[in-house]
Amino acid sequence: MGGKVWPVGGRTALLLFAFVWISCGYFGSWAFNPNNTTRLFAAVSLVEEGDATIDQYAELASDHAKFGDHYYTDKAPGMTLMAVPAVWLLDRLTDDEAVFHSPSLGDRGFVDYVVLRVWLSAFLSSGLLVALGAVALYWTGVSLTGNRGAAMFGALSYAIATPTWGWATTIFGHAAVGALLLIGLAGLRYIAVSGPDQGVRPGRLFTAAAIAAFALGWALVVEHQSVFGVLALLLYGQWETRRLPAVLRLKLLGVGVVAGLAALAPLVIYNLIAFGTPFKVGYEGVEGFEGMQQGVMGLTYPKAHVMYEILFGERRGILWLSPLLVLAPVGLFRMIGRENLRAAGWLAIAGTAIYFLLNAAYVYWTGGNSTGPRHAMPAMAFLGLGLTGYWALCRGPFWKTLGAALFAVSAVISSMIAAANVTAYEGETQALKVEVWQRFIEGNIRTVPMEWFDWTWIPSLTLYCAFAGVMALLIWLSLRRDAKATA
C-alpha cells in the first residue's frame, strides 16, 4: 500500500475541483457579518482610494482597529488582499463604486454592492482554495495509500462533509488556511516521493518546493496563528525528504525560502500602506474586545471545559455538525501503525491537536456568531487525511457502511450550514437545531438563483441536487476508469 508513487488521473482531479468549487460558490453567507465587512471594506479602500483606512465604514465593520484618527481592519490582510481582484473587476464591469452610495443598510444600492462583492470575493478566495485543497488532499491520499477510492472519500469528507463548506462561502480566513496547508502538504509529499531515483526532473521538484512554500507563507498572511500548523508541516517535510541528496535538499530549501518570502512580501507592503511600518498588526489596535489584552493577542492556555464544548457541546461542538469525524481518529490510529503512513499520521494528529488547542486557549473561543468552533476549522484538513486512512485501512463491510452512512449525514448537515447559516447567533445554545435546521426548512437560505434570479428555495435546491448527482456519477465513472488504467 502506498509507496513512492505520485498519482495521475487529471480528469478525476478536475471533476473533483469543479464539483467542490461550484458547490462553494452556489451558496452564500451573510455579507454583513463583521468578519466579512471588515475585510471587504479594506479591499474597497485599497481599490477605490489607494489606502487601507475604513473610516466611513467603521460602524458597519464593528471588528476594526484604530490607530490615531483612522480605522482599519483588525484582521491579518490575506483575505482582504484576495478580495481586491473581485472588487476591482466588479467595479469595472458594473461601473459602480462604493462612493456612489451611502454606507448604510438603508441604502439598497449599497447593500447590493456589498453582497455581490463578498460573494465573488469568497468564490475567488476561500471557495477556490478549498477546491484546490480537496484536489491536493486527493493526490496526497492516492500517493500515501494507493487507493483512489479512499483518497476521494477523504477529499470529499474534508470539503463537503464538514463545516469547511460553509466557511468557504465567507471571506473569513479559516477555510482558506486549511486548504493552503493541504496544498503545502501535497507539494512536500511530491518532493518526498519523486526524487532523482524516480526519474523526475529537478525542475519539477523545484516547482513543487516553490508551490508548497508559497502556500505555507500565504497561510501566515491569511492568519498569523497559522505559524504553528506551518511549523508542523515544515518538520514533516524535513523528515520525509531526509533521504534526498544533501545538495538537492539545500537547493530545494533555497527555492522554498525565496517562494516563502515572496508570499510574505504582500504582508509587508500592506503594513507599509496601512501603518507606515512593516512591524505592526491590526490586532494591536482592536477596539471593543478587552480580552485581546490577555496572554498573546487573546491566546492564554487551553481550558478543559472549552475543549469539551468545541467537541461535544450543542452550542459549538464539531461532532454535532460532522458526526463523520468520530471515524478520523480510527483512521489515524491505523495510519501510525503502518510504517509508510506513520509520518503522515502523526502530522495529521499534530495538526488537529494544534488547532483545537488554539481554539480552547482563545479568550473568545466561541468565535462570536459562528456555526461550530470556527477557529479550529483548519483542523478539518488534517482530519480529512485521517478519513482517507480510515477508508483505506478499515476494509470490512461494517466499517465501509458506517463510513458511508456518516458521510451522507454529515454532507447533508454541511449543505444546510452552507445554505442557511454558517454564522449562528452567539447566544443560541442549540445552534444546529435553531440556526441551521429551522432556517433551512423555512427556506431561509442563500443561493445564486435566489439572490439574483428571483427563484424560490425549492427549485434552487433541486437544481443544486441535480448538479451534485451528475458530478457524483461522473467522479465515480472517472475513478473506475483510472483504476482500470492502473490495474
Give the pLDDT means over successive 10-residue stretches in the chain (487 positions).
Answer: 60 97 97 95 96 91 86 94 98 96 94 98 98 98 95 98 98 98 97 79 92 98 96 96 92 97 96 86 73 79 96 96 98 96 98 97 93 97 98 94 98 98 94 96 98 97 98 96 82
Question: Which one-letter DSSP state was computed for residue 196?
Answer: G
Nine cell digits for residue 198: 524516480
Distance, CA of 370 to CA of 426 (rounded, Å): 7
201 close to 455: Cβ distance less than 8 angstroms: no
Helix (H, G, I), strand (E, B) or coil at 286: strand
Question: Which one-letter DSSP state was computed for residue 442?
Answer: T
Confidence (pLDDT) at 6:
67
- CA angle, 352 as apex, 351 and 356 as ends, to 5°? 120
Distance, CA of 65 to CA of 292 (rounded, Å): 12
Confidence (pLDDT) at 91:
97
Distance, CA of 410 to CA of 324 (rounded, Å): 6
Confidence (pLDDT) at 201:
82
Confidence (pLDDT) at 1:
47
φ, ψ for residue 160, nearest 5 deg? -125, 5
Helix (H, G, I), strand (E, B) or coil at 71: strand
Confidence (pLDDT) at 3:
46
Helix (H) or strand (E) segment spanning residue 70: strand 70-73
| Residue 222, CB-side half-sphere exposure with 13 Å CA sphere | 28
Distance, CA of 233 to CA of 362 (rounded, Å): 23
Q: What are the beta bridge partners of residue 70? A: 67
Residues 6+ apart with CB under 8 A from 185: 136, 137, 140, 212, 233, 236, 347, 385
Distances (CA, A) of 105 to 40, 111, 117: 15, 6, 15
Sign of the four-CA dihedral 335, 477, 161, 165: positive
Place of cell 428555495: 457
420 close to 28: Cβ distance less than 8 angstroms: no
Confidence (pLDDT) at 2:
46
4 close to 189: Cβ distance less than 8 angstroms: no
> 10 Å Cβ neighbour count for 113?
24
| Residue 355, CB-side half-sphere exposure with 13 Å CA sphere | 29
Q: What are the beta bridge partners of residue 286? A: 65
Helix (H) or strand (E) segment spanning residue 72: strand 70-73
> What's CA 215's distance to the chain center, in Å?
12
Confidence (pLDDT) at 289:
73
355 close to 379: Cβ distance less than 8 angstroms: yes
